[in-house]
A and B are shown apart, each in its own frame.
Chain A
Amino acid sequence: MKRILLFCGLLVFGLQMRAEGYQVNLQGNRQTGMGHTGTGLLLGASSMHFNPGALSFLDKKYEFSVGGSFIFGSNSFQKEAPSVYEASSDNPMGTPFYFYGATMINEKMAVGLSVTTPYGNSLVWGDDWDGKYLIQDISLRAIFIQPTLSYKINDKLGFGVGFMAVNGNVDLNKALPVQSAMGDASVNISGNTWAFGFNAGLSYKASDKLSLGLSYRSEVLVKLDGGDADFDVPASLGGLYPDTKFDAELPMPTNITFGVGYQVTEKLLLAADLQYVGWSVYESLDFDFEAETVPDSRNQRDFENTMIYRLGAEYAHNEKVQFRAGIYYDSTPIPEDLLTPETPGTNKIGMSLGMGYQINDKLSLDASLLYIHGQKREDGYAPTNFYGTYYTNAVIPGIGLNYSF
């Protein structure tokens, strides 16, 4: 126990894109074990992310849930034929985490606070790889801090809202096509900022067996004003490329999720989620540099809205042990000819297994294992003429603890 907590304490804030775009759907190990379903379920404190409407159905007065995942992801690139060039990204282990704490303040009303990391991306292709003028490495993370209020309108219907304060951080490096004796010039772009949004959800217990949920998470537009752009260029060009500031925007898109839960037997629970992600807000990634001699950078993205289809099941083996399994299909928002190595998205199938263990009447443990298989994608980014075949997969074990009393 102590050891596990220590391990969690050592986690670094490195995330890696594991859902499509730069979304990371790993906000609860019980849900992850079930294909990350849960919008239609009553899942206690973690409802704050999945559906704040369900939070008011807390079983006990207090509930805390904490956990994380370990992303072992791999991206490989094979250059467009004829070429024998291949590259693999050396990604740091991603460690998305979550914390939920909630309490019923009266019979009808629950309040809580959640801290989650639903967006992030961390890829290291290397300084000298063939796509160095597009990206060398990128680390993007967002921490969502969300106070939440949920109200049980009646025994069947719950409604909740949350306010999301988002801390966004970006750090990326790319090479620039001008050389000195030291090789290619480069630029480091970094910044940190706060942005805000909200979420809301409705949870409806249609019968003892059937529950439904609808949740909405607003877009959060992370506007970075005054980020740092540090140029490493030949001395003779230092006047043209001074270290300067930049402005940029990155949207974290709207999510609308509809979920259903069905208690087939006393032992078997089935769940399904349909998640709509409004990626079309991500039209362009533009950097406006303050120094006049540094040309602004416009990068077409034109993402498309996507759907994620999720199915999950939980089987109560006995009073203490549950087994879980799930599967989902996550389509890519990235259109043809706009695929970059910075976000090498593809359609993905996720398959999960999970287990829950009730340690005592207050403490339970959830473990999950998710394997994500990305379909190989032969595509590229037309504006920079960088084409090849991208291969993506990931294995993600996760563990979480729940404490309620």
Chain B
Amino acid sequence: MMKNISKYIILLAAVVLWSCEPKVDEFSPSNGSADFTTFVAVGDSYTAGYTDGALGARGQNESFSVILANQLENVGSAAYNQPLVQSEGSVGTTVINEQGALNGYFELSIVGGSLAPVPTAGDMAIFGEQVYNADNQNFGVPGAKSYHLLASGFGNPAAGVGNYNPFYTRFMSSGSASVLEDALATDPSFVSLWIGCNDVLGYALEGGEDDMITPPADFANYMGMLASSLYTGDTKGALANIPSINALPYFNAVTYNALVIDQATADMLNAHPSYVQYNAGSEALGLPKIEFVAGANALVIVDEDYEHPGKIRQMVEGEKVILSASSSISNPDIGWGYIAPLAAKYVLDEEEVEAINAATLAYNKTIKTLCGQFDLAHVDLHAVMDQLDDTGVIIDGNHYTTTFVTGGVFSLDGIHASGRGSAIIANAFIEAINAEYNASVPLANVNDYDMVEFP
């Protein structure tokens, strides 16, 4: 009998091995009516993979375009070749010392007892890399505006510093090439186009004091030229619109009333001769006084158009402070916003915010129209970012918001996406593509990618 039992045990083991793994009904990806054989991404820093304030291989490998391309490999895309940064380092566009060195990736570090993004040193040799390859599929150029993609010689150093884009120089086919020409040379079957953010951001980043908003009529022109060149014959694609600056931490992490002080500081400021004098003037003119209280106070800014001869005033709700002013506000030795008024280039006043919003709205109308005209997937990133900003989005157990550093979506520069933000953007592209082309492109797992790294 014991021998028999041994036999039974062997039999049972066989049954166990045979039946243990449940059968799964596999999901079948489908390309629908689109052809993803040669996928090409055209755009700006988001497409390139710029993150944490710089371009480097880490960001390039977690851009929305590479995440999208990886998912498209399930439905016919053969590969996704990028002009990868060869250096271990990264490079941005902010000068960080007197020698003119540029920043690399920002890192979260403990500064004065609290966490703050601090730039690393950039590797300027990256601009010297020659990584042109006829097989390149990523035509994202950091800093590019709509019309830049059309411009011949956009990467030509012969134009002189400031007149060419060194990020494009790295992978342009020739000094006279345009991004559009290079992209068309790949004979793409499917093109993602996301351009126009810099058409408003160039102005916004300067606090509205420099650069200019591309006039919406011009933008419509440029976009029409881009779309009609890219989407010819059987080439299809996805066209994404422009998120509101309200969703970007760069313009929202520091609020208009970010000055938090105690009563002693408030008393000290209120007694300061310059505010006493200012308030006497305010009283005479019937204008609001600047009076500090314990707790939150609106920041004091320079406003050359203000009626008060002091040409300063407190900010009002709806106006925005840009992120780069943050450290000088929190540093009591500098005291921007109370000891010294914030310069206009660090502030977007109501008029400037209105101009940016109006242009964004007009651009997005153009983009929507072009999607209809060329039968393109319309990727409503404006809505996606608004939702992340309003309520956040819960994805597989994590609540994603646009909150700076901790929200999970944005990187340490406050403008560009983290790896996970990029995956959220890539999934918005996929959903739009699936809807437009009756395709079943699988979504990316957002939580597989990176967020801000804490020390």
CB pair B1 A359 closer than 8 Å? yes
Contact stretch, chosen from B294-302, B343-351, B365-373, B440-448: B440-448
Complex interface: chain B residues within 8 A of A394 (CB)? 20
A-B contact pairs, 7 of them (CB 8 A): A73-B20, A78-B27, A82-B27, A371-B19, A395-B16, A397-B9, A397-B16
Complex interface: chain A residues within 8 A of B29 (CB)? 82, 84
B25 at interface by CB-CB < 8 Å: yes
B134 at interface by CB-CB < 8 Å: no
Q: How does the 8 Å CB contact mask read for A357-398 relative to B, with 1 for contact and 0 for none?
A: 101000001010101001010000001111001011111010
Given A236-B115, A384-B394, A395-B16, A85 and B445 contact (CB-CB distance below 8 Å): yes
User: In the complex, which of the residues A179, A181, A357 contacts B451, with contact meaning CB atoms closer than 8 Å?
Assistant: A179
Closest residue of chain B to A374 (Cβ to Cβ) is B22
CB pair A130 B448 closer than 8 Å? yes
A134 at interface by CB-CB < 8 Å: yes
Alpha-carbon distance A393/B453, docked complex (angstroms): 39
CB pair A84 B397 closer than 8 Å? no
- Measured CB to CB, the residues of A under 8 A from B are 1, 72-74, 76, 78-79, 81-86, 88, 128, 130-134, 177-181, 233-237, 357, 359, 365, 367, 369, 371, 374, 376, 383-386, 389, 391-395, 397
Complex interface: chain B residues within 8 A of A82 (CB)? 27, 29, 430, 434, 440-443
User: In the complex, which of the residues A357, A385, A386 contacts B1, with contact meaning CB atoms closer than 8 Å?
Assistant: A357
B53 at interface by CB-CB < 8 Å: no
CB pair A237 B454 closer than 8 Å? yes
Question: Shortest distance in angstroms between B387's beta carbon and chain A's nearest beta carbon?
Answer: 13
CB pair A1 B2 closer than 8 Å? yes
List B1-30 residues whose CB lies under 8 Å from chain A: 1-2, 5, 8-9, 12, 15-16, 19-25, 27, 29
Alpha-carbon distance A389/B24, docked complex (angstroms): 9
Interface size class of B (residues with CB under 8 A): 35 or more
User: Could you tell me the dominant secondary structure of chain A's interface residues?
Assistant: strand
CB pair A236 B454 closer than 8 Å? yes
Most buried by A among B22, B29, B399, B453: B22
Complex interface: chain B residues within 8 A of A236 (CB)? 108, 110, 115, 454-455
Given A181-B453, A234-B455, A391 and B24 contact (CB-CB distance below 8 Å): yes
CB pair B15 A395 closer than 8 Å? yes
B319 at interface by CB-CB < 8 Å: no
CB pair A369 B443 closer than 8 Å? no
Alpha-carbon distance A77/B2, docked complex (angstroms): 40
Complex interface: chain B residues within 8 A of A131 (CB)? 396-397
Q: How does the 8 Å CB contact mask read for B422-453 relative to A, with 1 for contact and 0 for none?
A: 00000000100010000011110101101111
Alpha-carbon distance A85/B26, docked complex (angstroms): 10
Given contacts A74-B21, A82-B441, 20 further A-B contacts (CB under 8 A): A78-B24, A81-B27, A82-B27, A82-B434, A82-B442, A85-B445, A130-B448, A132-B397, A179-B450, A179-B452, A234-B455, A236-B108, A357-B1, A359-B1, A367-B5, A371-B19, A385-B395, A386-B396, A395-B20, A397-B12
